[in-house]
Structure 1
Amino acid sequence: MVAEATNQNEAVTSWMDTPPRSPLLRHYSAKLVANMPWLDKLSAPLQSWTNGLFGKPKDVTYRVKDFLAGVWFGHPLHPVLVTIPIGAWTSTFVFDLAWLANEDDHAMARSADMMLWLGLAGATGSAATGLANWVDTDGQEQRTGMLHAVLNGGITVLNLSSALLRLTGQRRTAIALASTAYAMVIYSSYIGGELAYSDGIGMNRAIPEGGPDNFVAVMDEKDLAEGKLTRVEVEGIAAVLVKDGSTINAIAATCSHLGGPLDEGSYEDGVVYCPWHNSGFRMCDGCVVNSPAVYAQPTFAVRVREGKIELRRLEHA
């Protein structure tokens, strides 16, 4: 690859803010987001308000966030609920086209209206769960998520207006609004896909592979201090150890939420808290104690032999 000559006084754009070169759809979509700094002015107060609403991990109100994030479900709840408005509004679009082909077909009109209202109901749950996933993002991902939310808000307003116009008999105008909203749904869904699959929001960051099937020595037992989070490498996967009395526990050191180093976090009452977003995991079994993480940490069997601490990975990420 030929090196490019640059002016030393020229401002350098971080790779994190540089859009992908291909394909063109991703390139121009990312440039669009980059050219919308005004979204940050919406993100900051919304994030502050949401964090204030949910509170801190040990607050009772935080359980609402855990529920919406999908801790009980085992992965984010948002992808499940978004199928309701997308599927319902797709049906509305099809039924509306059928009615336009035969305006005497009242069954098609009723079906379109029913699906429109179902989509609006589903959009409420989808928005709440999406907010719970988005609130812990920052940078470009936060801005992209804000654009996704603004688009979805506009879609909801258009579809609600369409639903009300149908009640007054202005069906053709209502169909025009719903069709415009559906076109926006397609692009907003694309943005949602970028957040999930490109930016990795909601994905499991704990390494899916690596780690031994047999016990491997990782350190001397005498070097493990009581209550201190200690990082070790175990055949391709980082683990964090903690000694609590006579018990030694070990789980994956890479937080399943966004990859934070758990060994740099805090340990309290058998729970390790990620230093990045405060996700909590039980050290004894890797289970999620509180969101934003929803995936449990891989765990290790621990044994001490001849003064060495040995680990063996127990399950898939």
Structure 2
Amino acid sequence: MRVLFGADGSGFETASLVVLGFGALSAWGAVVAGLTDHKDVDPGDARNMATLHGLINIVATIGYTVAFFVRLGGGVGPSRWISLIAFLLLASGAFIGGHLVYKYGVMVNHNAFSGGRRAKEFTPILPAAELPEGTPTKAAIGPTNLVLVRRGDLVYALKATCSHAGGPLAEGTLNGDTITCPWHGSVFRLSDGAVRHGPSQTREIAYRARINEGQVEVQGPID
């Protein structure tokens, strides 16, 4: 360690400066990502809490940036105090961030704790005559709501709750082989629920579906 940082410990100050600089720079990237997520939070208490969370983190990031330039100018002592204040702000912002997740469910997979009823065998859920061509249609298997889409003899079935914020996919818009959530614009592939476009980060729960003897039948979900 003495070889790496020098006998007088001056290398530690250089290392601190480099780490502080990279940390502050990375934090600004997180600020940009946070602002992008903020626009997808529903108005009301959740949006207000998200705004407070974002403002605190932005101020903390400014603090770390100021601390870097102060240290760069030789003000090691003041830089440490500024960094400490920024850390305390960051900790409070993290606490509020946890409140956003656990109380308001922001950026949480809304299907995580209700994966959907399992059907080991193909199960009838709707007469085929009641499923129009090319129109998202709501159906259910037990307590689980599904959105069905018919394309000729093919039928696609996804869980009707958007994984991003719980939006109603049955009210979504079809575009080719995808469906778009009406709330925040998440796009899912009909065949397997894969995310084609955010803000959702989690695939939609998908079922196998078919038309058999005049009935729409589903089996799954697809693992």
Which residue number in structure 1 is paired with residue 71 of structure 2? 166
Question: Where in structure 2 are the equivalents of 1:79-98 lying within 5 Å?
Answer: none
Which residue number in structure 2 is paired with residue 194 of structure 1? 99
1:250 correspondence with 2:157? yes
State whether residues 256 and 295 of structure 1, in contact with CA within 8 Å, keep that contact through their aligned partners in structure 2.
Answer: yes
Shift of 1:197: 2.7
TM-score under structure 1 normalisation? 0.63
Residue number among 250, 273, 287 corresponding to 2:180 in the alignment: 273
Note the alpha carbon deviations across 1:134-172, whole angstroms, 9 max, x for none.
211122221111111211121122111111111222211
1:127 correspondence with 2:31? yes
Which residue number in structure 1 is paired with residue 138 of structure 2? 231
Which residue number in structure 2 is paired with residue 106 of structure 1? 10
Shift of 1:132: 2.1
| Aligned residue type for 2:54 | A
CA distance in 2, matches of 1:239, 1:156: 43
Which residue number in structure 2 is paired with residue 4 of structure 1? none
State whether residues 211 and 236 of structure 1, in contact with CA within 8 Å, keep that contact through their aligned partners in structure 2.
Answer: no
| Aligned residue type for 2:38 | W
CA distance in 2, matches of 1:227, 1:315: 22
Note the alpha carbon deviations across 1:63-106, whole angstroms, 9 max, x for none.
xxxxxxxxxxxxxxxxxxxxxxxxxxxxxxxxxxxxxxxxx532
CA distance in 1, matches of 2:156, 2:219: 12
| Aligned residue type for 1:271 | T
State whether residues 116 and 159 of structure 2, in contact with CA within 8 Å, keep that contact through their aligned partners in structure 1.
Answer: no
| Aligned residue type for 2:40 | D
Which residue number in structure 1 is paired with residue 190 of structure 2? 283
CA distance in 2, matches of 1:208, 1:124: 36
Shift of 1:186: 0.7
Q: 5+ unaligned residues in a row in structure 1: which ranges?
A: 1-103
Q: Percent identity at matched positions?
A: 28
Note the alpha carbon deviations across 1:29-87, whole angstroms, 9 max, x for none.
xxxxxxxxxxxxxxxxxxxxxxxxxxxxxxxxxxxxxxxxxxxxxxxxxxxxxxxxxxx
Shift of 1:188: 0.7
1:262 correspondence with 2:173? no
CA distance in 2, matches of 1:299, 1:141: 29
- SS of the equivalent of 2:145 reads strand
CA distance in 2, matches of 1:169, 1:293: 45
CA distance in 2, matches of 1:212, 1:236: 12
Q: How many residues in Structure 1 have an aligned counterpart in Structure 2? A: 213
CA distance in 2, matches of 1:226, 1:172: 70
Note the alpha carbon deviations across 1:201-244, whole angstroms, 9 max, x for none.
11111232433222211011111111121111113321111111
| Aligned residue type for 1:119 | G
1:303 correspondence with 2:210? yes
Which residue number in structure 1 is paired with residue 117 of structure 2? 210
Aligned-pair Cα RMSD in Å: 1.7
Shift of 1:110: 2.3
| Aligned residue type for 2:126 | M
- SS of the equivalent of 2:28 reads helix
| Aligned residue type for 1:228 | T
More strand by share: 2
Note the alpha carbon deviations across 1:272-317, whole angstroms, 9 max, x for none.
221212222121221222212221111111122222111012335x
Which residue number in structure 2 is paired with residue 116 of structure 1? 20
Q: 5+ unaligned residues in a row in structure 2: which ranges?
A: 1-7
State whether residues 298 and 313 of structure 1, in contact with CA within 8 Å, keep that contact through their aligned partners in structure 2.
Answer: no
More helix by share: 1
- SS of the equivalent of 1:277 reads coil
The runs of 4+ residues in structure 1 deviating greater than 6 Å are: none
